[in-house]
């Protein structure tokens, strides 16, 4: 298997380096537009994200939790000709063969996905997420640890779900919406809005996810 370069040197990026190693992949280092190259403790920052072309034998993952930022980075890399994104699924993950996973998705330890589920490009499912039957998780969604998605849930592009949240069966979270930590969503969420509480209610608006 080809070595992995992680784009994003935040705490989540370092967690994804660990995920890659757990998947039996070697990690060359990190690319980050906000940090100068060099050794950072036990880690090597190789350069800015535009230097991906210097690593022709590697594959890449974008480890940026914010869906809006992650999409901007991926779209720029796509425009530069990047065609070497890889998908990482921790060996502890339980899922049926019917689950479809898109390019660049990152599925962390302890997750469970049952049957007839679609997971899009560059989706993040953090630790111990459960995904129910017939769920659709579109591109650039971020799901934080310990989230429970009931069956027939749809998370449209750019949705973010906070740690420990739960979503009722059949609910749709529209593009760019966010459910706060510990929230319980029982009704559909409108686009580009933050919902908090149990039951979750609108809290504030967000910039459009475009």
| Residue 65 assigned to a binding site | yes
Residue among 121, 157, 149, 144 nearest 133 (CA) = 149
**Among all residues, which ones are annotated catalytic?**
133
What the block records as the tokens of 99 is 């689950």
The radius of gyration computed from the CA coordinates of the chain, to the nearest angstrom, equals: 17
Contact 171, 185 (CB under 8 A): yes
Contact 31, 17 (CB under 8 A): no
- Sequence length of the chain is 210
CA–CA gap between residue 193 and residue 126 (Å, rounded): 22
CA–CA gap between residue 170 and residue 150 (Å, rounded): 8
What the block records as the tokens of 64 is 């940026």
CA–CA gap between residue 96 and residue 39 (Å, rounded): 40
Annotated binding site for substrate: 65
């Amino acid at each position: 298997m080809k070595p992995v370069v992680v784009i994003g040197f935040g705490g989540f990026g370092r967690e994804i380096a660990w995920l890659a190693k757990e998947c039996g992949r070697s990690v060359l280092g990190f690319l980050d537009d906000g940090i100068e190259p060099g050794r950072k403790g036990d880690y090597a920052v190789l350069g800015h994200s535009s230097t991906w072309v210097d690593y022709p034998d590697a594959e890449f993952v974008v480890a940026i939790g914010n869906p809006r930022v992650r999409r901007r980075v991926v779209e720029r890399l796509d425009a530069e000709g990047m065609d070497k994104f890889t998908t990482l699924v921790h060996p502890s993950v339980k899922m049926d063969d019917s689950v479809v996973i898109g390019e660049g998705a990152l599925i962390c330890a302890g997750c469970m996905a049952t049957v007839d589920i679609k997971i899009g490009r560059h989706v993040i499912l953090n630790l111990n997420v459960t995904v129910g039957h017939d769920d659709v998780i579109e591109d650039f969604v971020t799901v934080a640890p310990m989230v429970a998605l009931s069956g027939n849930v749809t998370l449209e592009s750019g949705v973010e779900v906070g740690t420990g949240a739960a979503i009722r069966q059949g609910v749709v979270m529209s593009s760019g919406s966010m459910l706060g930590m510990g929230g319980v969503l029982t009704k559909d969420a409108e686009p580009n809005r933050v919902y908090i509480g149990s039951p979750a209610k609108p809290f504030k608006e967000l910039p459009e996810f475009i």
